[in-house]
Structure 1
Amino acid sequence: MVRAGLTAAKVTAAAADMADEAGLDKVTVSALARRLGVKDASLYSHVKNLRDLRVRIGLLGSEEMTDRIGAAVAGRAGKDALVAFADAYRQYALDHPGRYAATQMRFEPEEVAGSAGFRRSVELTYGMLRAYDLAEPDLTDAGRLLRSTFHGYIHLELGGGFGHSRDVGESWARSLDALHQVLENWPSRHEPSRHEPSRHEPSRHEPSRHDGSK
């Protein structure tokens, strides 16, 4: 029998708390059932399987983090918005490491189709970047740069990967200064990158129709 008062939302919240405390990899249906004092079968009335449970944690985390970022960047633009966005992102990850880890899973389109959090996350990111006069495909490229920088830094910080005595918060702030400079001076798409030969210089590779790949 399903425990009285148990709902999908309560199951998800309990799983998210467990992920923050013990790590996302420790969240299983059996472990959560023991935490809630019910049998495994009771949870399957609310979640399909372990994958569904972890996806729900990711969607919850995305909505919470997006709400925090949205409130932080409201009325800001340029560097102020970048710093507010980044600081809110980082602080959420530090406050809720398990939820944050779930937001970084690879999701299938149908799993996030109804998620306002994921949709708003994209809107907030692109809205902040448009203040730097970026348009596609630069918007996507810059968004990937920010995400990889934020996630890489946070992943190392959470794992104790920064052993130097330099304060990690100070290094984070300087990293944001550098990102702001990069965004303000984003390379023109008309300029050849260091990975592309100039039209006036011979290539050391055979010409190809697929961006140099063979």
Structure 2
Amino acid sequence: MPLKYIQQNYVKYNKGNGYICCLSDALHATPPAADVFTDNIVEGIMERTGCPGIISTVSRKLADLNRSPNGDNDLAIKEYRHALKDILEFLNIVDYDQQHLTHPFLHVSFHGMKDDHYGPYGVEIGTVRGRSCSVEIKNWFEETLTKKAKQLLPNINLIFDQKFVGNESITYHRLGDGNRYQGFGSHFHTFQIELSRTMRKEYRPQLIDIFSEIIIDFQTTCVSK
């Protein structure tokens, strides 16, 4: 059965099954200047796990959702944050009195990079050098990803927080932006996933398997413990 989306002006989203505390998104999914195949990866993960997902429906040339509000993207950012809030409320894990989440929440955001950076099997994980997640979840994610990825893709080249460390905006869901957006506190953990073009084009099934397993493990290990 095809995924059903709530369609908005800048994004479309699916709230998931109301149980899995993870968001998978593709914020540069629409041409021109699209990170091709990232939307397919997100949809595959959603279908496998039942997690919510958000996919951009406008080009980053018009409004870049992976940036701080800058005047050109303000309406798009507002819409994206509304979709995120809708998802979190559907999961019933928001404590507005304390302005934080009641359960750990994993956010994996998929992007594309050229093969030139780390070769055809390159994958870089960015956390703005640890600011978009906790130390404990960062260590767990690196260990779990490394183990699962090497099993399915022995040639994978995993890099953590070196070149594509993540845009500052991915920290806002956890820490707030210093203005009107307060974020959701220390239970919110974001990882920006930069995938080489070869990985996106040739190894989508394996990537879907790897990150679906990580999401299921997160639910079991960190949420339902």
TM bin, normalised by shorter chain, reads 0.3 to 0.5
Q: Which has the higher helix share?
A: 1
Higher relative contact order, structure no. (Cα contacts within 8 Å, ≥ 6 residues apart)? 2
Q: What is the TM-score normalised by the length of structure 1?
A: 0.35
Q: Which has the higher strand share?
A: 2
Q: Over alpha carbons, which structure has the higher Rg?
A: 1
